[in-house]
Chains A and B, each alone.
Chain A
Amino acid sequence: MAIRSKKTQWVENKLLLFVLLWIAGSVCCFVPAANAKDVFANDGLHDPQGPSFNELQRPDAAFAGFPVDSVGNKVRWVQALRDGIITPRTNIVPDTTIKILDMDLILGNTGDNAYVRFPHRAHTEWLDCANCHPDPFKEKFGTSGIKMGAILEGKFCGKCHGAVAFPLTECARCHSVKPDTFRGKFGVQPVEKH
């Protein structure tokens, strides 16, 4: 190492400290800093010249106080619904029947990956049976020929996951059952006692 004067080292060290603090500060403040900017101003979508540009609600304002996610809308939608933070309407026509099904399935054709737990309850709170049955899923376990490749092409689970529901990068949210600790049978799971 080159020999440097005490003074240069002092300046350098102060500079280093400053830069480190600045990085830390900018990382911590990144979220508020992004909020300070208008997220619609250059999202490549909204026209700031549009006469109603300022009337539209911004997602960051709407999501304040919602359970936070790291992907998608950055909102844990299932939790937000369950905790009553949002109460989206189930119907508009008064006599529509609302069907909720509490039935978990475990799917085991996952190669070396963890098995997939499919929860009917979390889905039917948002969706109707007809959104999934008979297309893309047959109403009998193991008969729909689900494959990861097809999911990634937007079929089966990929119809929604990767478009509106949390994206397919989150392998472990679907592949959530460790094979070495799973002792049950694939298919419909016995209803858990709470």
Chain B
Amino acid sequence: MFNPLKNTNRTMTPLALFVVAIIVLLSASPVLAEYADVVLNRHAEAEGVRPVIYPHWFHRIRFRCKVCHHELGFQMKVGSNDITMAAILDGKFCGMCHNDETAWGLEHCHRCHSGLPGLKTGIRGDNKAGGPGDY
């Protein structure tokens, strides 16, 4: 058993350990975007609303991929679906579910338009994943 009270041979002073501990704590701290969150901001900010954050993690608890990416026809590539508010209000894309039936309706603008100003369209992840080609 390691007994710090007996260890007279130590090479690290408590001060050095203190510094290391601070560095360890700081480097572990940053909170990052949840893996597979998608930012949609091709029109939103230019039209005066916050960018949209689409959370994969939240939806995949409730729907299998095939519901959106097969049945509802979402292409599996960020930016490849021409998602506009007009199309959504017309019952397409997010509007296929956010219609007060499968999910809450479109009057809750800010649940979708929830992003910080200036976000770029694309998929987000932790330090290990920034999307395909940037694992």
Interchain CB contact (< 8 A) of A162 among B50, B69, B131:
B131
Q: In the complex, are the beta carbons of A71 and B4 less than 8 A apart?
A: no
Given contacts A22-B21, A153-B132, A169-B128, contact A13 B5 (CB under 8 A): yes
Interchain CB contact (< 8 A) of B117 among A39, A47, A131:
A47
| Stretch from A88-96, A113-121, A139-147 forming part of the interface with B | A88-96
Given contacts A43-B32, A73-B36, A154-B131, contact A20 B4 (CB under 8 A): yes
* Chain B contacts with A in 113-130, Cβ cutoff 8 A: 113-117, 119, 123-126, 128-129
A residues with a Cβ closer than 8 A to B are 1, 12-13, 15-17, 19-20, 22-23, 26, 30, 34, 37, 39, 41-47, 50-53, 55-57, 59, 62-63, 71-75, 77, 86, 88-93, 96, 98, 125-128, 130-131, 152-155, 158-164, 167-169
B residues with a Cβ closer than 8 A to A are 4-5, 8, 10, 13-14, 17-18, 21, 24-25, 28, 31-37, 39, 50, 53, 55-58, 60-67, 69-72, 76, 96-97, 102, 108, 110-111, 113-117, 119, 123-126, 128-129, 131-135
Q: Which 9 A-B pairs have the closest CB atoms?
A: A154-B132, A52-B110, A128-B70, A162-B135, A154-B133, A168-B135, A128-B66, A15-B14, A167-B129
Please give 6 more A-B residue pairs, beta carbons under 8 A apart, in addition to A45-B115, A162-B131, A164-B36: A52-B111, A73-B57, A92-B96, A127-B66, A162-B133, A167-B35
